[in-house]
Amino acid sequence: MRKPCCDKQDTNKGAWSKQEDEKLINYIRIHGEGCWRTLPQAAGLLRCGKSCRLRWINYLRPDLKRGNFTEDEEDLIIKLHALLGNRWSLIAGRLPGRTDNEVKNYWNSHLRRKLINMGIDPNNHRLITHNHLPRPHDSNSGASIISPASKVPVTDNTNIHPPEKSRGDNDQVSDAASSLEDHKLPDLNLDLTISVSASTVDKVEDDRRKSRNSPK
């Protein structure tokens, strides 16, 4: 039986106070990131390590770019989501200064709705084919979708079927992504502008591996 990550009785929960933020920032400034389990005690925080890590990564990190997403960023998120599904950390890794949480929230609150309004199913990035729903170019029904910002067609290659939902269901996209890594997607049009290509996906995965292996 695994021990809980922290003694929940002795930890604060909920919103962070300014003092807590300052303690965390000061500690990381001096000692650097890592060792999240021992950090709270060492920093004098009544928080669990996971909470500290999340607060730092999503809010306190100095290199965070806060504020609205640009059109380019939106476009890139949509394209990467079409390729990778709900792998938010991978997507965020291609957006400097953005966090997975931020991208995920933005997707769920803005981009999903935006795609739906455009008649695109956000789960699989294909045109929603409702018989009663008028479609922009019906002759192409289900054949291609237009990326909103760039107006660059994202070919519906039918090889990519992002998941209805993530985690267990990520297998489909994992398959797509791993197929990309194996170069087994013959007819896949990966010219997604903003340099999202098979090699980009390779690089994303590669970066991820490297960051895992590199010491903190």
Partner DNA sequence: AATAGCGGCAACCGCATCGAT
Partner DNA sequence: TATCGATGCGGTTGCCGCTAT
CB of 208 to DNA, least distance (A): 6
Binding residues for DNA, rule CB under 7 A, total: 47
Nearer to DNA, 99 or 147 (CB): 99
CB of 165 to DNA, least distance (A): 5
Taking contact as CB under 7 A, which single stretch among the options 3-11, 136-144, 149-157, 186-194 is the one that binds DNA?
3-11
40 contacts DNA (rule: CB under 7 A): no
Give the H/E segment covering residue 22: helix 18-31
27 contacts DNA (rule: CB under 7 A): no
- Which of 114, 131, 112 lies closest to 123, judged by CA? 112
| Amino acid identity for residue 158 in this structure | T
Nearer to DNA, 109 or 139 (CB): 109
212 contacts DNA (rule: CB under 7 A): yes
Q: Which two tokens stand for residue 120?
A: 């695109």
* Residue 188 Rama label (left phi>0; alpha psi -120 to 50; beta): beta
Nearer to DNA, 4 or 186 (CB): 4
Q: Which two tokens stand for residue 22?
A: 């300052």
Site string for DNA, 91-130 (x = CB under 7 A): ---------xxx-xxx-xxx--x-----------------
19 contacts DNA (rule: CB under 7 A): no
Contact 105, 116 (CB under 8 A): no
Contact 50, 84 (CB under 8 A): no
55 contacts DNA (rule: CB under 7 A): yes
CB of 4 to DNA, least distance (A): 8
Contact 127, 213 (CB under 8 A): no
Among positions 147-176, residues that touch DNA (CB under 7 A) are 165-168, 170
Contact 48, 8 (CB under 8 A): yes
The helix/strand/coil state of 114 is: helix
* Residue 17 Rama label (left phi>0; alpha psi -120 to 50; beta): beta
Q: Which two tokens stand for residue 55?
A: 């607060």
Among 25, 58, 155, 189, which residue sits at the site for DNA (rule: CB under 7 A)?
58
Which stretches of the chain bind DNA, using CB under 7 A?
Answer: 2-3, 5, 8, 12-16, 34-37, 47-51, 53-55, 58-59, 86-90, 100-102, 104-106, 108-110, 113, 165-168, 170, 208, 212-213, 216
